[in-house]
Structure 1
Protein backbone atom coordinates (compact mmCIF):
# COMPACT_ATOMS: atom_id res chain seq x y z
CA UNK A 1 0.00 0.00 0.00
CA UNK A 2 1.57 3.34 -0.98
CA UNK A 3 1.84 6.10 1.60
CA UNK A 4 2.26 9.51 -0.02
CA UNK A 5 3.32 7.84 -3.29
CA UNK A 6 6.03 5.71 -1.64
CA UNK A 7 6.01 2.14 -0.41
CA UNK A 8 7.03 1.21 3.11
CA UNK A 9 10.15 -0.36 1.61
CA UNK A 10 11.02 3.00 0.02
CA UNK A 11 10.76 4.70 3.40
CA UNK A 12 12.91 2.01 5.05
CA UNK A 13 15.54 2.29 2.29
CA UNK A 14 15.68 6.08 2.59
CA UNK A 15 16.06 5.84 6.34
CA UNK A 16 18.77 3.17 6.08
CA UNK A 17 20.69 5.32 3.59
CA UNK A 18 20.58 8.37 5.85
CA UNK A 19 21.65 6.36 8.91
CA UNK A 20 24.47 4.76 6.90
CA UNK A 21 25.69 8.13 5.67
CA UNK A 22 25.62 9.72 9.12
CA UNK A 23 27.30 6.75 10.78
CA UNK A 24 30.08 6.73 8.19
CA UNK A 25 30.62 10.47 8.74
CA UNK A 26 30.94 9.72 12.46
CA UNK A 27 33.58 7.10 11.59
CA UNK A 28 31.32 4.23 12.65
CA UNK A 29 31.18 1.10 10.58
CA UNK A 30 28.02 0.37 8.67
CA UNK A 31 26.89 -2.91 7.15
CA UNK A 32 23.74 -4.38 5.74
CA UNK A 33 21.73 -7.57 5.87
CA UNK A 34 18.51 -7.92 3.91
CA UNK A 35 16.36 -10.99 4.26
CA UNK A 36 12.97 -12.56 3.79
CA UNK A 37 12.68 -16.34 3.86
CA UNK A 38 16.42 -16.36 3.06
CA UNK A 39 19.37 -13.99 3.38
CA UNK A 40 19.30 -11.70 0.34
CA UNK A 41 22.24 -9.37 1.05
CA UNK A 42 25.13 -9.65 3.48
CA UNK A 43 27.46 -6.66 3.40
CA UNK A 44 30.13 -6.74 6.11
CA UNK A 45 30.42 -3.61 8.24
CA UNK A 46 33.12 -1.20 7.16
CA UNK A 47 33.85 2.51 7.51
CA UNK A 48 35.73 3.09 4.25
CA UNK A 49 34.35 5.81 1.97
CA UNK A 50 33.41 3.19 -0.64
CA UNK A 51 31.01 1.54 1.82
CA UNK A 52 28.23 4.03 1.11
CA UNK A 53 28.10 3.14 -2.57
CA UNK A 54 27.98 -0.57 -1.67
CA UNK A 55 25.06 0.05 0.69
CA UNK A 56 23.28 2.11 -1.97
CA UNK A 57 23.79 -0.53 -4.65
CA UNK A 58 22.45 -3.27 -2.39
CA UNK A 59 19.43 -1.31 -1.16
CA UNK A 60 18.34 -0.05 -4.56
CA UNK A 61 18.15 -3.65 -5.79
CA UNK A 62 15.66 -4.55 -3.05
CA UNK A 63 12.07 -5.28 -3.93
CA UNK A 64 9.08 -5.92 -1.73
CA UNK A 65 8.75 -9.63 -1.09
CA UNK A 66 5.95 -11.20 0.91
CA UNK A 67 7.08 -14.62 2.15
CA UNK A 68 7.25 -15.16 5.91
CA UNK A 69 10.57 -13.74 7.11
CA UNK A 70 12.98 -16.20 8.67
CA UNK A 71 14.20 -14.41 11.78
CA UNK A 72 16.00 -17.53 13.02
CA UNK A 73 18.12 -17.50 9.87
CA UNK A 74 18.79 -13.81 10.44
CA UNK A 75 19.93 -14.60 13.99
CA UNK A 76 22.23 -17.40 12.78
CA UNK A 77 23.71 -15.11 10.12
CA UNK A 78 24.30 -12.30 12.60
CA UNK A 79 25.88 -14.65 15.16
CA UNK A 80 28.29 -16.11 12.62
CA UNK A 81 29.21 -12.82 10.92
CA UNK A 82 29.09 -10.05 13.54
CA UNK A 83 31.49 -10.69 16.40
CA UNK A 84 31.37 -7.34 18.23
CA UNK A 85 28.35 -5.89 20.01
CA UNK A 86 26.68 -3.68 17.43
CA UNK A 87 23.60 -1.59 16.87
CA UNK A 88 21.23 -3.60 14.69
CA UNK A 89 18.42 -1.57 13.16
CA UNK A 90 15.73 -3.96 12.00
CA UNK A 91 13.14 -2.48 9.66
CA UNK A 92 10.03 -4.64 9.64
CA UNK A 93 6.29 -4.27 9.81
CA UNK A 94 4.61 -6.43 12.41
CA UNK A 95 0.84 -6.04 12.23
CA UNK A 96 -0.23 -8.11 15.24
CA UNK A 97 1.18 -9.17 18.58
CA UNK A 98 0.74 -12.83 17.63
CA UNK A 99 2.65 -12.23 14.39
CA UNK A 100 5.50 -10.61 16.31
CA UNK A 101 5.51 -13.34 18.97
CA UNK A 102 6.26 -15.96 16.30
CA UNK A 103 9.63 -14.22 15.95
CA UNK A 104 10.16 -13.08 19.54
CA UNK A 105 12.68 -15.78 20.47
CA UNK A 106 14.97 -14.81 17.59
CA UNK A 107 14.59 -11.12 18.43
CA UNK A 108 15.41 -11.77 22.08
CA UNK A 109 18.51 -13.75 21.08
CA UNK A 110 19.64 -10.90 18.82
CA UNK A 111 19.09 -8.44 21.68
CA UNK A 112 21.15 -10.61 24.03
CA UNK A 113 24.31 -10.02 21.97
CA UNK A 114 23.59 -6.70 20.25
CA UNK A 115 21.71 -3.47 20.75
CA UNK A 116 18.56 -4.22 18.75
CA UNK A 117 16.32 -1.44 17.48
CA UNK A 118 13.13 -2.70 15.82
CA UNK A 119 11.60 -0.09 13.53
CA UNK A 120 8.09 -0.53 12.20
CA UNK A 121 5.31 1.56 10.78
CA UNK A 122 2.11 3.16 11.99
CA UNK A 123 -0.65 2.77 9.45
CA UNK A 124 -1.60 6.38 8.76
CA UNK A 125 -4.57 5.26 6.68
CA UNK A 126 -6.07 3.55 9.75
CA UNK A 127 -5.50 6.64 11.87
CA UNK A 128 -7.32 8.74 9.27
CA UNK A 129 -10.21 6.25 9.31
CA UNK A 130 -10.54 6.48 13.08
CA UNK A 131 -10.72 10.28 12.95
CA UNK A 132 -13.63 10.30 10.48
CA UNK A 133 -17.11 10.43 12.02
CA UNK A 134 -19.17 7.25 11.69
CA UNK A 135 -22.62 7.71 10.16
CA UNK A 136 -23.88 4.14 10.12
CA UNK A 137 -23.30 0.72 11.66
CA UNK A 138 -20.85 -0.35 8.96
CA UNK A 139 -18.67 2.72 9.54
CA UNK A 140 -18.74 2.09 13.31
CA UNK A 141 -17.60 -1.48 12.66
CA UNK A 142 -14.80 -0.30 10.35
CA UNK A 143 -13.63 2.29 12.92
CA UNK A 144 -13.63 -0.36 15.65
CA UNK A 145 -11.47 -2.71 13.58
CA UNK A 146 -9.11 0.16 12.71
CA UNK A 147 -8.78 1.05 16.41
CA UNK A 148 -7.99 -2.60 17.18
CA UNK A 149 -5.10 -2.59 14.70
CA UNK A 150 -3.77 0.71 16.06
CA UNK A 151 -3.88 -0.76 19.57
CA UNK A 152 -2.07 -3.90 18.33
CA UNK A 153 0.88 -1.78 17.16
CA UNK A 154 1.18 -0.15 20.60
CA UNK A 155 0.94 -3.58 22.23
CA UNK A 156 3.82 -4.79 20.03
CA UNK A 157 5.96 -1.87 21.24
CA UNK A 158 5.13 -2.71 24.86
CA UNK A 159 5.89 -6.41 24.38
CA UNK A 160 9.27 -5.77 22.72
CA UNK A 161 10.30 -3.18 25.29
CA UNK A 162 9.40 -5.63 28.05
CA UNK A 163 12.35 -7.71 26.80
CA UNK A 164 14.75 -4.77 26.51
CA UNK A 165 14.35 -4.41 22.76
CA UNK A 166 14.37 -0.80 21.57
CA UNK A 167 11.54 0.19 19.26
CA UNK A 168 10.42 2.94 16.95
CA UNK A 169 6.80 3.00 15.84
CA UNK A 170 6.61 5.71 13.23
CA UNK A 171 4.47 7.22 10.55
CA UNK A 172 6.24 6.45 7.28
CA UNK A 173 6.91 10.14 6.65
CA UNK A 174 8.65 10.53 10.06
CA UNK A 175 10.72 7.35 9.82
CA UNK A 176 14.06 8.85 8.80
CA UNK A 177 13.83 11.64 11.37
CA UNK A 178 12.90 9.31 14.24
CA UNK A 179 15.48 6.68 13.33
CA UNK A 180 18.27 9.23 12.97
CA UNK A 181 17.33 10.84 16.31
CA UNK A 182 17.41 7.44 18.03
CA UNK A 183 20.83 6.66 16.54
CA UNK A 184 22.21 10.03 17.71
CA UNK A 185 20.62 9.56 21.14
CA UNK A 186 22.30 6.17 21.48
CA UNK A 187 25.64 7.70 20.43
CA UNK A 188 25.31 10.43 23.08
CA UNK A 189 24.46 7.82 25.73
CA UNK A 190 27.45 5.82 24.51
CA UNK A 191 25.22 2.76 24.29
CA UNK A 192 27.15 1.70 21.19
Structure 2
Protein backbone atom coordinates (compact mmCIF):
# COMPACT_ATOMS: atom_id res chain seq x y z
CA UNK A 1 0.00 0.00 0.00
CA UNK A 2 1.40 3.37 -1.06
CA UNK A 3 0.34 6.46 0.86
CA UNK A 4 1.19 9.72 -0.96
CA UNK A 5 2.80 12.42 1.11
CA UNK A 6 1.44 15.35 -0.91
CA UNK A 7 -0.91 16.31 -3.70
CA UNK A 8 0.51 16.59 -7.21
CA UNK A 9 1.88 14.49 -10.05
CA UNK A 10 4.03 11.56 -8.90
CA UNK A 11 6.64 10.36 -11.38
CA UNK A 12 7.25 6.60 -11.51
CA UNK A 13 10.93 6.38 -12.45
CA UNK A 14 11.63 2.69 -11.87
CA UNK A 15 9.64 -0.52 -11.54
CA UNK A 16 10.75 -3.62 -9.65
CA UNK A 17 8.93 -6.79 -10.72
CA UNK A 18 9.14 -10.12 -8.88
CA UNK A 19 7.29 -13.36 -9.39
CA UNK A 20 7.65 -16.87 -7.98
CA UNK A 21 8.37 -20.06 -9.87
CA UNK A 22 5.78 -22.81 -10.34
CA UNK A 23 6.94 -24.68 -7.22
CA UNK A 24 7.27 -21.58 -5.07
CA UNK A 25 10.93 -22.40 -4.24
CA UNK A 26 12.49 -19.47 -6.06
CA UNK A 27 11.56 -16.15 -7.63
CA UNK A 28 12.77 -14.01 -10.45
CA UNK A 29 13.21 -10.26 -10.13
CA UNK A 30 13.88 -7.61 -12.78
CA UNK A 31 14.14 -3.83 -12.84
CA UNK A 32 12.80 -1.59 -15.59
CA UNK A 33 12.80 2.13 -16.28
CA UNK A 34 9.40 3.81 -16.44
CA UNK A 35 8.15 7.15 -17.72
CA UNK A 36 4.70 6.85 -16.19
CA UNK A 37 3.11 9.43 -13.90
CA UNK A 38 0.29 9.15 -11.38
CA UNK A 39 -1.98 12.07 -10.46
CA UNK A 40 -2.35 12.34 -6.67
CA UNK A 41 -5.77 13.99 -6.46
CA UNK A 42 -6.85 16.19 -3.51
CA UNK A 43 -8.93 14.87 -0.66
CA UNK A 44 -12.62 15.11 -1.56
CA UNK A 45 -14.05 12.95 1.20
CA UNK A 46 -16.30 15.87 2.19
CA UNK A 47 -18.23 15.36 -1.05
CA UNK A 48 -19.52 12.07 0.35
CA UNK A 49 -20.59 13.57 3.68
CA UNK A 50 -24.26 13.12 4.68
CA UNK A 51 -24.84 16.89 4.65
CA UNK A 52 -23.70 17.28 1.05
CA UNK A 53 -25.61 14.21 -0.09
CA UNK A 54 -28.78 15.53 1.54
CA UNK A 55 -28.39 18.80 -0.34
CA UNK A 56 -27.81 16.99 -3.63
CA UNK A 57 -31.12 15.15 -3.35
CA UNK A 58 -32.79 18.39 -4.37
CA UNK A 59 -30.16 19.25 -6.99
CA UNK A 60 -30.40 16.26 -9.32
CA UNK A 61 -31.86 16.95 -12.74
CA UNK A 62 -33.60 14.42 -14.93
CA UNK A 63 -33.69 13.98 -18.68
CA UNK A 64 -37.01 15.72 -19.32
CA UNK A 65 -36.85 19.28 -20.61
CA UNK A 66 -38.72 21.52 -18.22
CA UNK A 67 -38.36 24.86 -16.46
CA UNK A 68 -36.79 24.98 -13.03
CA UNK A 69 -38.61 27.43 -10.85
CA UNK A 70 -37.07 28.71 -7.68
CA UNK A 71 -35.58 31.75 -6.02
CA UNK A 72 -34.02 33.22 -9.15
CA UNK A 73 -34.13 36.73 -10.56
CA UNK A 74 -35.81 36.17 -13.92
CA UNK A 75 -39.58 36.64 -13.69
CA UNK A 76 -41.53 33.68 -15.06
CA UNK A 77 -45.23 33.98 -14.24
CA UNK A 78 -47.88 34.84 -11.66
CA UNK A 79 -49.41 32.01 -9.68
CA UNK A 80 -52.06 31.87 -6.98
CA UNK A 81 -50.52 32.28 -3.56
CA UNK A 82 -50.52 29.12 -1.47
CA UNK A 83 -49.65 28.61 2.20
CA UNK A 84 -45.93 27.97 2.61
CA UNK A 85 -44.83 30.33 -0.19
CA UNK A 86 -42.57 33.26 0.59
CA UNK A 87 -44.71 36.26 1.48
CA UNK A 88 -42.17 38.57 -0.13
CA UNK A 89 -43.08 37.09 -3.51
CA UNK A 90 -46.68 38.37 -3.31
CA UNK A 91 -47.52 40.76 -6.15
CA UNK A 92 -49.78 43.25 -4.38
CA UNK A 93 -50.73 45.21 -7.49
CA UNK A 94 -51.64 42.08 -9.42
CA UNK A 95 -53.56 40.75 -6.43
CA UNK A 96 -55.58 43.98 -6.23
CA UNK A 97 -56.51 43.74 -9.91
CA UNK A 98 -57.63 40.08 -9.69
CA UNK A 99 -59.14 40.29 -6.17
CA UNK A 100 -57.04 37.34 -4.95
CA UNK A 101 -53.53 36.83 -3.71
CA UNK A 102 -51.00 36.22 -6.51
CA UNK A 103 -47.32 35.45 -6.10
CA UNK A 104 -44.44 35.85 -8.53
CA UNK A 105 -42.58 32.79 -9.79
CA UNK A 106 -39.02 33.01 -11.03
CA UNK A 107 -36.75 30.88 -13.18
CA UNK A 108 -33.76 29.39 -11.40
CA UNK A 109 -30.53 30.62 -12.99
CA UNK A 110 -28.33 27.93 -14.50
CA UNK A 111 -25.29 27.86 -16.75
CA UNK A 112 -23.48 30.56 -14.74
CA UNK A 113 -19.69 30.70 -14.95
CA UNK A 114 -17.74 30.02 -11.73
CA UNK A 115 -13.95 30.53 -11.67
CA UNK A 116 -11.89 29.16 -8.77
CA UNK A 117 -8.70 31.26 -8.79
CA UNK A 118 -6.06 29.69 -6.53
CA UNK A 119 -2.95 31.52 -5.39
CA UNK A 120 -0.15 28.93 -5.24
CA UNK A 121 2.61 31.37 -4.29
CA UNK A 122 4.86 31.30 -1.25
CA UNK A 123 2.24 32.62 1.18
CA UNK A 124 -0.08 29.70 0.34
CA UNK A 125 2.62 27.06 0.81
CA UNK A 126 2.76 27.54 4.58
CA UNK A 127 1.22 24.58 6.45
CA UNK A 128 -2.00 24.58 8.47
CA UNK A 129 -2.35 21.50 10.71
CA UNK A 130 0.20 19.60 8.63
CA UNK A 131 -1.06 20.50 5.13
CA UNK A 132 -0.16 23.54 3.00
CA UNK A 133 -2.76 26.26 2.65
CA UNK A 134 -3.03 25.60 -1.07
CA UNK A 135 -4.11 22.00 -0.40
CA UNK A 136 -6.81 23.21 1.99
CA UNK A 137 -7.94 25.71 -0.64
CA UNK A 138 -8.01 23.11 -3.43
CA UNK A 139 -10.19 20.79 -1.33
CA UNK A 140 -12.67 23.60 -0.59
CA UNK A 141 -12.69 24.65 -4.26
CA UNK A 142 -13.41 21.12 -5.47
CA UNK A 143 -16.19 20.67 -2.91
CA UNK A 144 -17.89 23.85 -4.12
CA UNK A 145 -17.22 22.96 -7.76
CA UNK A 146 -19.04 19.65 -7.24
CA UNK A 147 -22.06 21.52 -5.91
CA UNK A 148 -21.97 24.07 -8.75
CA UNK A 149 -21.78 21.34 -11.40
CA UNK A 150 -24.74 19.59 -9.83
CA UNK A 151 -26.62 22.90 -9.79
CA UNK A 152 -26.17 23.28 -13.55
CA UNK A 153 -23.41 25.91 -13.54
CA UNK A 154 -20.07 25.80 -15.35
CA UNK A 155 -16.82 25.66 -13.36
CA UNK A 156 -13.17 26.38 -14.16
CA UNK A 157 -9.87 26.23 -12.26
CA UNK A 158 -7.26 28.99 -12.48
CA UNK A 159 -3.96 29.04 -10.56
CA UNK A 160 -1.19 31.61 -10.42
CA UNK A 161 2.01 32.57 -8.63
CA UNK A 162 4.60 34.83 -10.29
CA UNK A 163 2.63 34.21 -13.50
CA UNK A 164 -0.57 32.39 -14.47
CA UNK A 165 -0.09 28.63 -14.23
CA UNK A 166 -3.28 26.64 -14.90
CA UNK A 167 -6.42 27.67 -16.74
CA UNK A 168 -8.99 25.00 -17.52
CA UNK A 169 -11.95 25.47 -19.86
CA UNK A 170 -15.39 25.84 -18.33
CA UNK A 171 -16.84 22.41 -17.62
CA UNK A 172 -20.48 21.54 -17.02
CA UNK A 173 -22.18 18.44 -15.66
CA UNK A 174 -21.11 16.28 -12.74
CA UNK A 175 -19.54 13.80 -15.16
CA UNK A 176 -16.71 16.31 -15.69
CA UNK A 177 -15.87 16.57 -11.99
CA UNK A 178 -13.20 13.89 -12.40
CA UNK A 179 -11.48 16.11 -14.96
CA UNK A 180 -11.38 18.96 -12.45
CA UNK A 181 -9.81 16.57 -9.94
CA UNK A 182 -7.11 15.61 -12.42
CA UNK A 183 -6.38 19.24 -13.24
CA UNK A 184 -6.25 20.18 -9.55
CA UNK A 185 -3.52 17.57 -9.03
CA UNK A 186 -1.24 19.54 -11.39
CA UNK A 187 -1.35 22.73 -9.30
CA UNK A 188 2.20 22.89 -7.98
CA UNK A 189 3.77 24.56 -4.95
CA UNK A 190 5.59 27.73 -5.97
CA UNK A 191 8.00 29.49 -3.59
CA UNK A 192 7.50 32.77 -5.43
CA UNK A 193 5.79 36.06 -4.72
CA UNK A 194 2.33 36.17 -6.27
CA UNK A 195 1.82 38.65 -9.09
CA UNK A 196 -1.82 39.64 -8.64
CA UNK A 197 -1.76 42.30 -11.34
CA UNK A 198 -0.60 39.93 -14.08
CA UNK A 199 -2.76 37.01 -12.91
CA UNK A 200 -6.06 38.86 -12.49
CA UNK A 201 -5.63 40.92 -15.66
CA UNK A 202 -4.92 37.71 -17.60
CA UNK A 203 -8.01 36.11 -16.10
CA UNK A 204 -10.12 39.16 -16.93
CA UNK A 205 -8.96 39.03 -20.54
CA UNK A 206 -10.07 35.39 -20.88
CA UNK A 207 -13.59 35.90 -19.58
CA UNK A 208 -16.18 36.89 -22.18
CA UNK A 209 -19.22 37.14 -19.90
CA UNK A 210 -20.04 38.01 -16.30
CA UNK A 211 -18.67 35.36 -13.93
CA UNK A 212 -18.29 34.61 -10.25
CA UNK A 213 -14.56 34.69 -9.46
CA UNK A 214 -13.64 33.00 -6.16
CA UNK A 215 -10.06 33.90 -5.17
CA UNK A 216 -8.19 31.79 -2.60
CA UNK A 217 -5.23 33.71 -1.22
CA UNK A 218 -3.54 35.06 1.90
CA UNK A 219 -2.42 38.58 2.77
CA UNK A 220 1.10 38.77 4.19
CA UNK A 221 2.92 41.55 2.33
CA UNK A 222 1.25 45.00 2.56
CA UNK A 223 2.71 46.08 -0.80
CA UNK A 224 1.40 42.97 -2.57
CA UNK A 225 -1.96 43.46 -0.83
CA UNK A 226 -2.27 46.98 -2.27
CA UNK A 227 -1.55 45.66 -5.77
CA UNK A 228 -4.13 42.94 -5.21
CA UNK A 229 -6.74 45.51 -4.16
CA UNK A 230 -6.06 47.53 -7.28
CA UNK A 231 -6.36 44.47 -9.54
CA UNK A 232 -9.54 43.31 -7.78
CA UNK A 233 -11.04 46.76 -8.22
CA UNK A 234 -10.82 46.37 -11.99
CA UNK A 235 -12.52 42.96 -11.83
CA UNK A 236 -15.63 44.10 -9.95
CA UNK A 237 -16.60 46.47 -12.77
CA UNK A 238 -17.86 43.49 -14.77
CA UNK A 239 -17.62 40.38 -12.58
CA UNK A 240 -18.67 39.27 -9.11
CA UNK A 241 -15.63 38.65 -6.89
CA UNK A 242 -15.46 36.59 -3.69
CA UNK A 243 -12.32 36.19 -1.55
CA UNK A 244 -11.66 33.13 0.62
CA UNK A 245 -9.15 33.51 3.47
CA UNK A 246 -8.06 30.77 5.87
CA UNK A 247 -7.65 31.57 9.53
CA UNK A 248 -4.09 31.41 10.83
CA UNK A 249 -4.34 29.34 14.00
CA UNK A 250 -0.60 29.64 14.72
CA UNK A 251 -0.75 33.44 14.89
CA UNK A 252 -3.75 33.26 17.21
CA UNK A 253 -1.95 30.82 19.50
CA UNK A 254 1.12 33.10 19.65
CA UNK A 255 -1.09 36.03 20.66
CA UNK A 256 -3.13 34.19 23.31
CA UNK A 257 -0.18 32.27 24.79
CA UNK A 258 1.05 33.53 28.15
CA UNK A 259 4.57 34.99 27.61
CA UNK A 260 7.43 33.48 29.55
CA UNK A 261 10.29 35.48 28.05
CA UNK A 262 11.04 38.60 26.04
CA UNK A 263 11.10 36.50 22.86
CA UNK A 264 7.52 35.37 23.50
CA UNK A 265 6.44 39.00 23.84
CA UNK A 266 8.18 39.92 20.57
CA UNK A 267 6.49 37.01 18.78
CA UNK A 268 3.08 38.00 20.14
CA UNK A 269 3.53 41.63 19.03
CA UNK A 270 4.66 40.56 15.54
CA UNK A 271 1.75 38.11 15.22
CA UNK A 272 -0.71 40.81 16.28
CA UNK A 273 0.71 43.20 13.67
CA UNK A 274 0.28 40.55 10.96
CA UNK A 275 -3.31 39.92 11.98
CA UNK A 276 -4.03 43.67 12.04
CA UNK A 277 -2.65 44.00 8.50
CA UNK A 278 -4.85 41.13 7.33
CA UNK A 279 -7.94 42.66 8.97
CA UNK A 280 -7.16 46.00 7.30
CA UNK A 281 -7.03 44.38 3.86
CA UNK A 282 -10.29 42.49 4.54
CA UNK A 283 -11.96 45.75 5.60
CA UNK A 284 -10.82 47.47 2.41
CA UNK A 285 -12.20 44.60 0.32
CA UNK A 286 -15.56 44.84 2.03
CA UNK A 287 -15.65 48.62 1.50
CA UNK A 288 -15.11 47.95 -2.22
CA UNK A 289 -18.23 45.73 -2.20
CA UNK A 290 -16.35 42.42 -2.30
CA UNK A 291 -17.51 39.60 -0.04
CA UNK A 292 -14.84 37.88 2.05
CA UNK A 293 -15.25 34.43 3.60
CA UNK A 294 -12.99 33.67 6.56
CA UNK A 295 -12.80 30.53 8.63
CA UNK A 296 -10.83 27.55 9.80
CA UNK A 297 -9.78 25.01 7.20
CA UNK A 298 -12.34 22.43 8.40
CA UNK A 299 -15.19 24.95 8.04
CA UNK A 300 -14.18 26.92 4.96
CA UNK A 301 -15.71 24.45 2.49
CA UNK A 302 -19.15 24.64 4.10
CA UNK A 303 -18.99 28.43 4.38
CA UNK A 304 -18.01 28.74 0.74
CA UNK A 305 -20.94 26.57 -0.34
CA UNK A 306 -23.31 28.71 1.71
CA UNK A 307 -21.84 31.85 0.15
CA UNK A 308 -22.25 30.42 -3.35
CA UNK A 309 -25.87 29.42 -2.68
CA UNK A 310 -26.66 32.86 -1.22
CA UNK A 311 -25.29 34.50 -4.37
CA UNK A 312 -27.52 32.30 -6.52
CA UNK A 313 -30.50 32.92 -4.25
CA UNK A 314 -30.06 36.70 -4.52
CA UNK A 315 -29.64 36.44 -8.29
CA UNK A 316 -26.40 38.48 -8.32
CA UNK A 317 -25.04 36.68 -11.35
Fold-level match, TM-score > 0.5?
Answer: yes
Higher relative contact order (CA 8 A, sep 6+): 1
- Output one character per residue of 1:122-169: Cα deviation in whole Å (capped at 9) or x when no partner: 211010111111133322222111111111111111011111122122
Q: Which runs of structure 2 are paired with 1:51-90 in the superposition (5 Å)?
A: 51-90=176-215
Q: 1:167-178 counterparts in 2 under 5 A?
A: 167-178=292-303
Number of positions where the alignment pairs a residue of Structure 1 with one of Structure 2:
192
Residues 98 and 80 of structure 1: is their aligned pair in 2 closer, same or farther, counting only changes over 3 Å?
closer
Give the aligned partner of residue 81 of structure 2.
none
List alignment gaps of at least 5 residues for structure 2: 1-125
Instruction: Label 1:114 to 1:188 Cα distance change in 2 as closer, same or farther (>3 A).
Output: same
Kindly report which structure 2 residues correspond to 1:75-154, keeping only aligned pairs within 5 A, or say none. Answer: 75-154=200-279
Alignment of 1:28 with 2:153, yes or no, is yes
1:190 correspondence with 2:315: yes
The match for 1:45 is 170
Larger deviation, residues 157-166 vs 136-145: 136-145
Conserved 8 A contact 1:34-1:42: yes
Counterparts in 2 of 1:152-167, with a 5 A limit?
Answer: 152-167=277-292
Runs of 4+ residues over 6 Å off in structure 1: none
Query: Which segment is superposed worse, 141-150 or 15-24?
Result: 141-150
CA RMSD of aligned residues (A): 1.7
Cα-to-partner distance string for 1:33-69 (whole Å, 9 max, x where unaligned): 1111222111122313443122111111112212222
Pairwise CA distance, 1:29? 0.8
Structure holding more strand per residue: 2
Q: Is the 8 A contact 2:158 2:166 kept in 1?
A: yes
